[in-house]
């Protein structure tokens, strides 16, 4: 299932679809008249598809819809508003992989997750942080330490490859707790699928979403302008992740 998910994620990405569509359009151009007409429309649709997923408009429509549920009165909730739990589960994905080039943590756009976990710990919402870090354990741990988190409060999972495996492992870690509860920290656009995975594969654990990294809600809060129709390389990256979430949610819904 792990490799199937990876393959589906790549194949359904905006760039993959556009490249495949463009290649098919070129092949059809060398066929008969009817095939050329079909190829022309496939080419137009491929370009339009790629254009849409490179624009802020896609972020407004798709990304913001993934995050909207986790806002409170249109605002990002304060850490003090979350209940106390047995652990803060910090899903990886926001930190760079160690290269031995620097003693400092390399932060990616989703590093807000690490900040959120630290804020929750400092607000005494839970006594420990379970970080699903994989190869970025040193970066994640280093940044948490910079935020003042004690080493005793950090636990790292390095053998889980995806959210499904992380959920199963954490359920085993907390099986001795009575009615275990976790504060689940990940990017807001990833939270729906992450929560679903934990509820499915760790049914004994109460999951309280504590999202961070609201990348699209801020965009949706701004007034629409003509610039929202122009392609942007940064938006292409974010929108690709949002599309991946939609495909994943549909897949789990269809095959559950």
Q: Is the pLDDT of residue 5 over 70?
A: no
For the stretch 175-191, pLDDT in tens is 888 899 999 999 999 99
154: pLDDT strictly greater than 80: yes
- Per-residue pLDDT, 152: 93
pLDDT at 46: 94
8-state DSSP, 224: P
DSSP code of residue 92:
S
pLDDT band for 203, please (50, 70, 90 cuts). very high
- What is the pLDDT averaged over residues 13-28? 92
Q: Quote the pLDDT of residue 107.
A: 80
- Give mean pLDDT, residues 69-73: 95
Whether 102 shows a pLDDT value over 80: the answer reads no
> Which of residues 250 and 45 earns the better pLDDT score?
45
Confidence of residue 97 (pLDDT cuts 50, 70, 90): low
Whether residue 168 has pLDDT greater than 70 = yes
pLDDT for residue 18 is more than 80: yes
User: What is the rounded average pLDDT for all residues in the chain?
Assistant: 88
Structure confidence at residue 165 (pLDDT): 87
**DSSP assignment of 114-181:** HHHHHHHHHTTS-S-EEEE-GGGHHHHHHHHHHTT--GGGEEEE-S--SHHHHHHHHHHHTTTSSS-E
Indicate the CATH number of 77-209 among 3.40.50.620, 3.90.870.20, 1.10.260.40, 3.10.180.10.
3.40.50.620
Proportion of the chain above pLDDT 70, given as a percent: 91
Residue 218 or residue 105, greater confidence: 218
Question: At a CB cut-off of 8 Å and minimum separation 6, what does 227 contact?
Answer: 56
pLDDT at 65 over 60: yes
* pLDDT for 100 beyond 70: no
Task: Look at residue 72 and tell me whether its pLDDT is greater than 70.
Answer: yes
pLDDT band at 4 (very low <50, low <70, confident <90, very high): low
Task: Report the relative pairing of strands 87-91 and 181-185 from DSSP bridges.
Answer: parallel
Residue 66 has pLDDT above 60, yes or no: yes
DSSP 104: S
**108 falls in which pLDDT band (50, 70, 90)?**
confident
What token pair was written down for 224? 């629409």
Q: Where are the domains of the chain?
A: 2-66+227-255, 77-209
């Amino acid at each position: 299932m792990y490799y199937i998910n990876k393959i589906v994620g790549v194949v359904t990405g905006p760039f993959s679809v556009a490249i495949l569509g463009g290649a098919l359009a070129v092949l059809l151009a060398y066929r008969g008249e009817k095939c050329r007409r079909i190829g022309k429309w496939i080419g137009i649709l491929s370009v339009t598809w790629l254009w849409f997923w490179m624009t802020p408009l896609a972020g407004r429509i798709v990304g913001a819809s993934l995050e909207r549920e986790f806002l409170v009165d249109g605002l990002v909730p304060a850490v003090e508003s979350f209940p106390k739990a047995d652990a803060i589960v910090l899903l990886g994905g926001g930190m760079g992989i160690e290269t031995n080039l620097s003693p400092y943590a390399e932060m990616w756009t989703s590093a807000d997750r690490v900040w959120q976990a630290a804020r929750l710990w400092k607000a005494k919402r839970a006594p420990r942080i379970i970080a699903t870090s994989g190869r970025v354990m040193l970066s994640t741990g280093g940044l948490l330490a910079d935020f003042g988190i004690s080493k005793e409060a950090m636990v790292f999972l390095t053998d889980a490859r995806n959210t499904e495996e992380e959920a199963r492992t954490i359920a085993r870690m907390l099986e001795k707790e009575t009615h275990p509860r976790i504060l689940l920290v990940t990017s807001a656009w990833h939270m729906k699928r992450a929560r679903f995975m934990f509820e499915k594969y760790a049914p004994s654990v109460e999951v309280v979403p504590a999202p961070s990294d609201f990348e699209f809600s801020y965009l949706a809060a701004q007034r629409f302008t003509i610039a929202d129709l122009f392609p942007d390389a940064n938006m292409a990256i974010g929108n690709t992740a949002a599309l991946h979430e939609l495909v994943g949610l549909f897949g789990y819904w269809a095959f559950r």
